[in-house]
Structure 1
Amino acid sequence: MYKKPDFEPSRDEMLRILENKIKPMSEDETVSVVTSLGRICAEDVYAKNTLPNKPVSARDGIAVHFSDFSKGIPDTSDWKDKKEYCFSNTGVAISDDYDTVITIENVEFDKSGKVRLLSIPEKCGEGVGVEGGQVKEGELLVYTGERISPSLIGILLTGGITSIKVLSKPKVAFIPTGDELVPAGYQTPPGKNVESNSQMLKAYINECGGEAILYPIIPDVMEKLKEAILSAVAVADLVLICAGSSKGNKDFTIELLESIGNVMVYELGHGPGKHCSLAYSGNTPIIGLPGPPMGADLTAALYVKNAMRLMQMQPVQSPYQIIAMLEEDINGRKIDFVSFMRVFIKDGQYYARPVELQGKTRAEVNHLQNGQFYLEKGSSIKAGTMISVEMRYPKEYITEE
């Protein structure tokens, strides 16, 4: 029996709940540094090497004795290679006989090979890379919770590190429910609908560094759904359930979650995706997502992705924003609402136009929408107001009207 909850969190409140409740992964594994891109380091990593391990040339040029320049530019007519100077290439160790490097652009050689200097070094050691200039033994290279980037792979290898401990990939189970659903890729019988959320959520899970466990469609039978949830809780770090949390006569997900765990959020205080929930069974979080793909997509982008970030020691991530002029009035509703926006450029200015959902397919909305605006309940904003739009794509993709 549906019962209206006492607390319906706004978007920010729901994100704060996730921050307080979702705990980082405790399991780790050792992987090769060369395959660690995007993984989360599970412990501080310190360099084993000191590099360079002796002074090297910081540029292409000639190595010289700085003492030869105590009185200005010396007479170089009798200078010989490997005596008064020697050629020195970037990154190559300098002979102990020399202490300074002059860049090759400031050196000329005549036809007979005699040296002519166009400038002189200002201090001893100029143009020389010092020992340990790249990395020092015992230096902290990567800290716990840091995401491995291409640059860090290079730094780790330079520091003599070839394998590291990283957080294990979160295992995320997804359970689609509904008698009306059929798997994608098959002919859809009359009165049925395609179950597409599984692959959409798998893509989100993969994008966030997780490992997806996809369940087959579970019919609207309480015993079968309970069996699936208990099975998922036993093997996954996070469980996602789609549909079954609204007000229909077969929507008993919330009731079931109450019987096997603790429901913390029954539904949200915003739409689309109002029927999104958060529960725990033991230490395993369970996020209930709305069945309609648009609501499932929105709430997955807001809450599943951020739950997975928190599981991997990463902070909640907000989309970047563009300041744009609102082209049409937007009026508030009885609940907070995420209004889809089309941001475009006109006369060098960013404009935001609300995307009307009624009468449009999901594909049409997706083509039009490149941003969104979170409007609090009961509030209205007039055309011409400058608003902050949360963008789905980089600003380089914003086009002219």
Structure 2
Amino acid sequence: MTALPRYRTDPSPRALAARLRALLTAQVPVACGVYAGLAAPVVTSALHARITHAMAVAFVSGTSAGVPRFEPPPSAQLRLLTAASWGRLDGVGADMTTFPVDLASELWWRVHERAGGPLRTAERRVACDLLLRLGYPQRAASAIGLSVIDARHHVLSPELAMEQLAVLRCHVPASVVEAIALRGARSGLPAPVRRELALFVVFRNAARGADSTSMQAAAALAVKASSELPAKGFAGMLQRARLHRALAAVPFVRRDIGETHRLLGRALECLTSVAPDPSSELDQLAWADEAYALYCFLVQTHLTIGLGERAVGYTDELVSLSPGDDRTWALRGDALVACGRLDDALDAYAHGMSLGGWGAARAAHLRGFVLEKLGRAAEAAADYVLSHRIDPTASISAGIGQVRAPARDAGRRRAQAREVQVLADLARAGEQAVREVVQASMRRIS
């Protein structure tokens, strides 16, 4: 089994500014315009982008009550990264009213106007989630009336607890947010809210690989709250699938793979036992959203124990659900490498590169790694250079061969020379805009 290098990026505001500047000159535009203007989804739009657009349509059409809770999108910076990949720094500002007119769709302005008016509870919930997805945390806070943020004394609302929690994540440390969520899961809030708060704590700990007492307590609280709720019907079975997926994270961080797969199997049974209403786009998206998260987990667990071929099989489901998501092709490429199918892995990573944007950086680097393993040094060097051109903040911890260093150094010098020239053409206002954006709002979004 080939060991892949670990590709990591710096999450700091300064690194975000560097990525935005790099994307300006990388010439890898994102094909999907959902996050930069709410354009209609295209073939290359990821599932989470289609969900975001559907939420916006429901919000402006007055059908917010029918919008289910979805998984959070992979990054709160998607609008900024998309706009920068198009060479449009004027699209990364912190104020929705200053968004470029030529990029914004009619739906964008209808969301803007609707979010500024009087809203019912269901509409406030959807408005908050939607504005956070579009990268406007201050506007999202206003939509739910959260004008003063005091984490020490904050009491979660029964109607908008998860939305308040999402906004708080933009302003206070993760440990404080998790403590608030765990306190809410132990409170007298309604059972559906307590379950969501408990699952939030479980998933956050699982993302860090932390086998903590808070994770175990949250898992028990999620089971207790779920026992008070209906387990039948489409929505009920989806929630059961999500519960089992969360519970599987507890043995997974302990490396108890047998128990992990037993619980994931139960989640899969719940998911496949129901079918969404073919006439309801939101139901279909809700089912696909849970399925995508579950299959991602299945791929990761099978890769952990060295079952690469099984992992590849699950990536087929990811391709079917969201072929426009760079995470799909990252996981598929990783699984193929684990099986020793290096030529197929090249195709998977190349597909991820074709989607453009920041996600192409990891795909290009790992494609270069595979090319190096195949002895194609010149092609590997070109991909390493492209990866660094897209994201100069990345750090690589293992698995790198000797060809990469000199090639990347030479490529870095060429890329820097090109970047200096392009930035001069754009004038100093470009860099100033990035600094202003980062200083004004990116500390919250990061």
Output the TM-score relative to the length of structure 2. 0.25
Q: When you count strand as a share of all residues, which structure comes out higher?
A: 1
Using CA pairs under 8 Å that are at least 6 residues apart, name the structure with larger relative contact order, 1 or 2: 2
Larger gyration radius, structure 1 or structure 2: 1
